[in-house]
Structure 1
Amino acid sequence: MNPISSLVFVLLLTVFPTQIFCQNLIAQACGYTSYKPLCLSTLQSDSEAKSAKDLLTIAKVALKHAGTKAQAVNAEVKKQQGSATDEGLKQALSDCAENYGDAIDQIQSSTSALGSKKYNDVNTWVSAAMNDADSCNQGFEDQSVKSPITSSSTTFSQLCSNVLAITNHL
């Protein structure tokens, strides 16, 4: 490296050390996941993640986004319930609302466990939330109706998977 390049590099490190470190921390965390593009877009858009100093904070932010998505899916399910006319769809949506209600509770339990650094409990609760999402999806198949929430439900499961991958490296 020539002297001018070295000087520019050192200046960048002194001017932007936090930003460089945090972006590297996000990239490191997302490198553990199966859904890296989703992980990167989620964490890079979050100010708390962008200023994180450790992987635990990154895990907390990832879990927060999974919880937010669970609440959004649950709201979407309840909205769909109000307009459903097909009996099979009504039943599947009713079951799904219950499943996502449980998933929200489990994500909240995961958040408490993460705060207490009980990582095995986090994994248990997040896995249970993912199972609830799977049960919701299965309910539509059992009723032989098309799920109106497939995309949202898939994103929720992927966010949960990312949480598990990051938590496993704490």
Structure 2
Amino acid sequence: MNPISSIVFVLLLTVFPTQIFCQNLIDQACGYTSYKALCLSTLQSDSEAKKAKDLLTIAKVALKYTGKKAQDINKEIKKLQGSANDEGLKQALTDCAENYGDAIDQIQSSTTALASKKYNDVKTWVSAAMNDADSCEQGFEDQSVKSPIASSSTTFTQLSSNVLAITNHL
């Protein structure tokens, strides 16, 4: 290798190792999940995840996006409540608002547990939030109405599943 090539190679190693390491960490974390594409798109778009030095940081970022999704769904439910005319739909949306309110609280509890490295508590709270999302969707079925938030609920459940998978490796 000529001297200029050697210098360029060493410079590349000193400038880019963090980016290479972090990308590998994101790939590693997402490799544990069932919804890898969602995991990658979520984490690769986040500056904190890109700078992460450990899986704990990756899990925190994944949990942050899960909580944001629950909040977005809750806002969507409240908008839909204002315009619903069908009584069955109104009832299902009312139940969903309560379920997602609980899910938001559980994700916040998960965030606190993760910061304290109480990983079993994280799993318990995230699983409870997933159950709330399932209960919400079941409410639409029970009222024999189509869920207007089915796609969002599915994404929330997948994000939650990804958090659980990553947390299992901490």
- The CA deviation at 1:14 is 1.7
For residues 140 and 12 of structure 1, the distance between their equivalents in structure 2, rounded to whole angstroms, comes to 55
Give the structure 1 partner of residue 15 of structure 2: 15
Give the structure 2 partner of residue 168 of structure 1: 168
Give the structure 2 partner of residue 139 of structure 1: 139
**1:158 maps to 2:158:** yes
- Identity, % of aligned positions: 88
Query: Is the Cα contact below 8 Å between 1:44 and 1:50 reproduced in 2?
Result: yes
1:1-170 alignment, distance < 5 Å: 10-170=10-170
Query: Which segments of 5 or more consecutive residues in structure 1 lack a partner in the other structure?
Result: none
Change (3 A) 1:9 1:147: farther
Amino acid at match of 1:158: Q
Q: Secondary structure at the match of 1:85?
A: coil
Change (3 A) 1:33 1:92: same
For residues 5 and 126 of structure 1, the distance between their equivalents in structure 2, rounded to whole angstroms, comes to 50
- The CA deviation at 1:10 is 4.5
| Alignment root-mean-square deviation, CA | 1.8
Query: Is the Cα contact below 8 Å between 1:99 and 1:135 reproduced in 2?
Result: yes
Question: Structure 1, residues 71-106: CA drift from partner, whole Å, max 9, x if none?
Answer: 000000010000000000000000000000000000
- The CA deviation at 1:8 is 5.8
- The CA deviation at 1:15 is 1.6
Change (3 A) 1:14 1:35: same
For residues 27 and 40 of structure 1, the distance between their equivalents in structure 2, rounded to whole angstroms, comes to 7
Query: Which segments of 5 or more consecutive residues in structure 2 lack a partner in the other structure?
Result: none
Q: Secondary structure at the match of 2:88?
A: helix
Question: Structure 1, residues 119-157: CA drift from partner, whole Å, max 9, x if none?
Answer: 000000000000000000000000000000011110000
For residues 9 and 158 of structure 1, the distance between their equivalents in structure 2, rounded to whole angstroms, comes to 40
Amino acid at match of 1:104: I
- The CA deviation at 1:13 is 2.1
Question: Structure 1, residues 48-91: CA drift from partner, whole Å, max 9, x if none?
Answer: 10111110000000000000000000000010000000000000
Change (3 A) 1:6 1:92: farther
TM-score by length of 2: 0.95
For residues 4 and 157 of structure 2, the distance between their equivalents in structure 1, rounded to whole angstroms, comes to 48
For residues 49 and 77 of structure 1, the distance between their equivalents in structure 2, rounded to whole angstroms, comes to 29
- The CA deviation at 1:12 is 2.5
Query: Is the Cα contact below 8 Å between 1:103 and 1:130 reproduced in 2?
Result: yes
Amino acid at match of 2:38: L
TM-score by length of 1: 0.95
- The number of aligned residues is 170
For residues 80 and 6 of structure 1, the distance between their equivalents in structure 2, rounded to whole angstroms, comes to 62
